[in-house]
Chain A
Amino acid sequence: MITVTKIKLKSLKSSLPLYLIIFSVIPLIMITSFTLYNMLQSNKDTVLHKHQQILNQVKYEINNLINNVESSGEFTKENYPIEGHRLLVGMPKVKQHITAMLILDNNGILKDFSETVSSNIYKGYDFSNQSYFAPILQGKDKYWTEVYLSSTTQLPSISYIIRVDSNTIAVLVVDLSRLEYFSEKFKSLDNSSMLSIIDKNGLYVTNPDNKDSVSQRENIKTSNMYKSIMDKQNYNKQIIFYDNDIKYIGTYGITQKLKWTILVKEKYNYIFAKFNNILLFTILFVLILIILLVYFAQRLSKSILKPLDTLNESINKIASGKSPDENIKVYYNELAELAKNFVIMQKKIEEREKENRQKDRQLYDSIKMVQMGEMIGNIAHQWRQPLSVISTSASGLKMNHEFGLLKNEDIPKHMDAIVKSSQYLSETIDTFRDFIKEKKEIKSINLQKRIKDTLNIISATIKNNNIELKTNIDDIQEPIIINMVAGELDQVIINIINNAKDVLVEKHIENAWIKLELVEKNNKILITIEDNGGGIPSDILPKVFDPYFTTKHQSLGTGLGLHMSYQIITDSLHGKLYVNNTKNGAKFTIELSLF
């Protein structure tokens, strides 16, 4: 026998495609993501390396310029006292990044100057208020000014101030546009500039991509870009940021002396255009793959589950007694095999059903016969007594008549006895007829009375076999009312008592008795029928209710009585019927529910 153990049921219909999808889609996505991530990282590393190299090169160039100007300053310090104005004129010619030289006295008055472009200044001008003059007043000998826009050229400039002697200060004005040209050389793939240099106050020194930001003194400190990246001092590290809604990747560093920020950047999307294409393609590919996977998972599960559904439907139909569909579409060998076997099984079931039906009919017939036999037996027992009375009366009458002893007054006496007995016989027939003809309908019955009637029917048979029939029915005062098909219970009781009687007779038990007890307990009715026939051997005890099982001689039993009783009690009356051995003999218990 196949048993089904149910462990938290799931629907195969949803689980199957889900597992298919999970075990194909998730690894697919994971592997793809991992590969793409690694690709992106290695791309980023390459870009960072390139940016760092540019950064270093620019730092070197700036340092070079600074050192160059500082050595020019030293040269001026040594030679101005000797060379004078000649040096001022000569210097910008030799050092092209020096666009002007001013000589001031301790009061900030312009004593001498040379410039490549006229700025409307004249000897005698007072520059003591210039911000670059303040450190001189504080005693400093050489220093760099802030970056400023030249009032004449409007180009970013810076000045190097060096004290020449006790009353002479040299100002070397350096044109920073040279750095601009240098910066312009670092171009990204899209021809945009990669480089911008910002002074320590946040003003652009060079920004080839947006030259206006230099000429307009744009301050990076008020930009979101500055706040999001440069305020955090991530020098030399890779940074990704937005400027004017454009995404950039880059790095930045600070120059040693002037604390300028060098920002190397490229448009993120441009650098990663190829990668983005691959990414887009891969995502599209994976998406298509996922859609296909989902589609095929659905189809696969459908092609597996559809035949299963059909099989299931067929089984349901068989179970509910309808004839199943014959056509099951399958796409797989294994399922075809299953369907084939199912069809075979279906045929076998049909055959067996036919056989069973035949058997049942036979069984029914046998039971009828048995019941008839038993009834006839009972009638015969019932009749024996009155018949003998009739016979005795009639033969008494005849004998008295033959011997002339017949008195007239004897005749009515004998006739009365005959009539009474005949009436009794007639009554008996009626009772039996009623008993057999009773319709199978549920009605409210008085259990004690019903059992008593039943016992009356078989009491004669029992007594004839010298068996005492004990019962407690008369002790129960309160009538027990129960709804059921009355005849069925009678049949069972008769069956069991008859069985007991047969055993007692067969075993020639002395002082044989059969005891029927009725007990009402917890809304349950227990009817026990016990005998003192010594009990049922334990090896056959479990089989007593099986059909065609009998220990009696062929002439006495069909082996259907107890089986039928069991069927009636369990199926029809929804009760229980069981047997056990007591110290006296077998004890059958009928358990019925009151409600």
Chain B
Amino acid sequence: MKRFIILYLFIVLLFNACSNKQEDDIKIGFIAGLSGKYSSLGTSIRDGFLLAFDEINYRINNQNVKVIIKDDKQDSKVAKQVIESLIKDGVKLIVGNATSSMTAISVPIVNKHKNMLLISATASGGEFTKKDDNFIRIQVEHSAKRYHALLEYIEKEKIKDIFFIYDPNNYKYAKGYKKILQDTIVKNGGDKFVANVPINTPYKDIVKKLKSTKHDLILIVGNSVDSANVIQYIRLNKINTKILASGWAKTMDFIQNGGKSVEGVLFSTGYDDSSKDKAFVDFVNKFKEKYNKIPSVFAAQGYELAQILIQNLKKSSNIATLKDRILKVKKYDGLQGDIIFDKYGDVFREYFMMEVKNGQYSKK
């Protein structure tokens, strides 16, 4: 009998030894629009984000990091589904979403759950500002204060009439731009936006409208390819008004698809693509080596976000305290200067103007 008990214990121990995994994985959800027209932003963030984890072989201390990637397809319904499925799978830390519109879907859902954290690399919508919730971001919000370089430019150039072309699928983001500029135009003696045209309007009609209105700036809020295509068409039709494009479009696709037509297009941005900062140059080289392409600012932001997470997860993998710990550290080394969180988890970063010059983004 005694022998059988020993045998039984031995077998039990053996099974335990076999099934005894090390510590649990750290699960990180990642949501962005990864397919379709809007995928350039999402895939850029993802590539940068994964590069950082790839460098540490997806291991933090003794735990494996599992990044669960979901595509919100820039569709409200899908966005709701994917975040709910992640929550159902017990994922406490979610990176996302890429655009403000999609983030607006996820934030209230995440806020319903305790001990969760949603952290976005790029969502800039003003409505997320100054809220002590389960959402933080490393993107600067749309606000006059942070866009002062742009506003200075508007003021200096005495811009009064703006022709607004926007993507209706990310209207929240577009609205942010509009809101900031509104006051300054009024200050300059203008009234309101001379036209609000969705970017999916036939180009012919856009040009017609452009030709029929007086304007001193065209503001385009759309993705890179759409923005580039519409600018090509505008320039092809000899309309040479200054164009301000949104940060959303600021990828290499924009320059590649825009050719010489996008020369001189302005951006208000926190990232200098031609920066010689060592951290940034290193990142660009690593990215190029891995993916054989030049990283966009979004990839850089994805990478920065991953670095902030890694730095904090190294100290503890407890997601419940992660937000407080991230905000407590407050200041992080970004790829271009510091990233500084306020107590609500919004960041401050210096913004400046850039323009396309000789097929490259350069600081104005």
Q: Is the CB of B34 within 8 A of A215?
A: yes
B262 CB to nearest A CB, Å: 8
* B257 neighbours in A (Cβ, 8 Å): 127, 129-130, 151
Q: Mark B218-243, 1 if CB is under 8 A from A, else 0.
A: 00000001100110110010000000
In the complex, A129→B361 CA distance in Å?
Answer: 13
In the complex, A130→B232 CA distance in Å?
Answer: 13
Give the tally of cross-chain contacts (CB within 8 A).
96
In the complex, A129→B258 CA distance in Å?
Answer: 7
Choose one: A202, A215, A224; the contact of B36 (CB below 8 Å): A215
* B36 neighbours in A (Cβ, 8 Å): 154, 215
Q: Which of B47-55, B90-98, B120-128 contacts A (4 or more CB under 8 A)?
A: B47-55
In the complex, A119→B37 CA distance in Å?
Answer: 12
Choose one: A125, A129, A201, A298; the contact of B236 (CB below 8 Å): A125
Q: Which of B169-177, B286-294, B316-324, B334-342 contacts A (4 or more CB under 8 A)?
A: B286-294
Chain A contact residue count (CB 8 A cutoff): 33
In the complex, A300→B42 CA distance in Å?
Answer: 73
Query: Known contacts A128-B260, A149-B39: does B71 contact A122 (CB below 8 Å)?
Result: no
In the complex, A154→B37 CA distance in Å?
Answer: 7
Choose one: A119, A129, A146, A217; the contact of B260 (CB below 8 Å): A129
In the complex, B332 has a CB within 8 A of chain A: no
Residue of B nearest to A227 (CB): B57
B9 CB to nearest A CB, Å: 15
* A127 neighbours in B (Cβ, 8 Å): 257, 259
Q: Is the CB of A212 within 8 A of B35?
A: yes
A-contacting residues, B1-59, CB 8 Å? 3, 7, 34-37, 39, 42-43, 46-47, 50-51, 53-54, 57-58
In the complex, A471 has a CB within 8 A of chain B: no
In the complex, B190 has a CB within 8 A of chain A: no
Q: Mark B245-272, 1 if CB is under 8 A from A, else 0.
A: 0000000000111111100000000000
B24 CB to nearest A CB, Å: 13
Choose one: A108, A121, A216, A227; the contact of B34 (CB below 8 Å): A216
Q: Is the CB of A130 within 8 A of B256?
A: yes
Residue of B nearest to A119 (CB): B229
Q: Is the CB of B291 within 8 A of A120?
A: no
Residue of A nearest to B223 (CB): A151
Residue of B nearest to A217 (CB): B43
A275 CB to nearest B CB, Å: 19
Query: Known contacts A154-B37, A201-B293: does B203 contact A108 (CB below 8 Å)?
Result: no
In the complex, A108→B258 CA distance in Å?
Answer: 11
Point out which of B57, B71, B256 has the most chain A C-beta atoms below 10 A from its C-beta.
B256
Q: Which residues of B contact A (CB under 8 A)?
A: 3, 7, 34-37, 39, 42-43, 46-47, 50-51, 53-54, 57-58, 69, 71, 203, 225-226, 229-230, 232-233, 236, 255-261, 290-293, 359
State the 4 A-B residue pairs at the shortest beta-carbon distance, nearest first: A126-B259, A216-B34, A215-B35, A222-B50
**Given A120-B203, A151-B37, A224-B58; 9 other pairs, CB 8 A cutoff:** A121-B229, A122-B203, A122-B233, A130-B259, A154-B36, A154-B37, A202-B290, A221-B291, A222-B53
